Amino acid sequence: MNRGNAYLWLIVLGAVVTGLAIGAADFLVPYPPMVEALQALNSSNMVLYSFKDRIHTFSTRKESKVGVIFYPGGLVDPIAYAPLLKELATKNLTTFLVDMPLDLAILSPNSAAAIIESNPDIGIWIMAGHSLGGSMPARFASRNQGIVSVLILLAAYPASVDSLSESDLHVLSVYGSEDTVIDKDALEKGRSLLPADTTYIVIEGGNHAQFGYYGPQKGDGKAVISLLEQQKLTVDAILAMIEEIT
């Protein structure tokens, strides 16, 4: 190859690498939180808010023995779930919303370990997550059995290597009838990986994105119910599960 051709190939290779880098940068841009989510990042008469070491904490002003650790959906700004976690905190729960590296829970599935270690006064631990952020709490629970009491999957299912079918974990699986993001076949197959007494709830009219406050999601179905209604039904389902075990 002469110098002219070699130089030309270097230009082509540089263009390809640059294009891939730009594409990756676009892909890794998370869904931003809605204004309502940003407004939830404060304390109120019932809830104290703090942010430290990449953890948003909503704690009740009363002593709480139940903690909820929440992993956000893949490429969704965690703040989008602040209203949900803050609302749960008003029910005498301490909730922890994890800010994941690159907004991907798969990069830090063991984030819950440090939270649990730092809060020895909490006696009951609940792991929860949305979409890909739900698969990773399932992984943590499967590999740390006896530590987590409840697993809450919002439009999520465990990976095939994370079977919980023989565990004594209490599991709640919630998804929307209009969700076209989740793989419904994988969701059904995932039933065999969960305990036989898992509670399944389908929110009629709900979709994938309305489990958080980040607006429409690409490839999702159109919700028939409002965001507020889907959020309320989600909170009600979670509280019913917690009441059942406590």
The lowest-confidence range among 13-17, 69-73, 116-120, 231-235 is: 13-17
Query: Model confidence over 113-151: pLDDT tens digits?
Result: 999 999 999 999 999 999 999 999 999 999 998 999 999
Quick one: pLDDT band at residue 164, thresholds 50, 70, 90?
Answer: very high
Distance CA 97, CA 51 (A): 9
Q: What residue type is 177 in one-letter code?
A: S
Is the predicted pLDDT of residue 26 greater than 50, yes or no? no
At 219, the amino acid letter reads G
The predicted structure's pLDDT at residue 106: 96
Return all residues near 235 (Cβ < 8 A) that are at least 6 apart.
84, 87, 88
Sign of CA dihedral 72, 73, 79, 84: negative
* Contact call for residues 56 and 97 (beta carbons, < 8 A): yes
Are 82 and 33 spatial neighbours (Cβ–Cβ below 8 Å)?
yes
Measured between its terminal Cα atoms, the distance across the chain in Å is 74
Q: State the Cα torsion 153-156-158-164 to the nearest 10°.
A: 30
In sequence order, which ranges of 65-194 are alpha helices (DSSP H)?
82-89, 111-118, 132-143, 184-189
Listed in sequence order, the residues at least 6 apart from 148 whose beta carbon sits closer than 8 Å to its beta carbon are 112, 125, 126, 127, 137, 140, 141, 169
Instruction: Give the gyration radius of the chain's Cα atoms.
Output: 20
Residue 216 neighbours by CB under 8 Å, 6+ apart? 209
Q: Per residue in 120-132, is it b (16+ CB within 10 Å) or e — as a string?
A: eebebbbbbbbbb
State what percent of residues in the chain have pLDDT above 90: 85
Instruction: Return the pLDDT at 28.
Output: 76
Contacts of 42 (CB under 8 A, 6+ apart): 49
What are the residues facing 154 on neighbouring strands?
A: 130, 174
CA–CA distances in Å: residue 57 to residues 41, 101, 173, 185: 10, 17, 24, 35
Q: Which residue has the tokens 């419904």?
A: 184
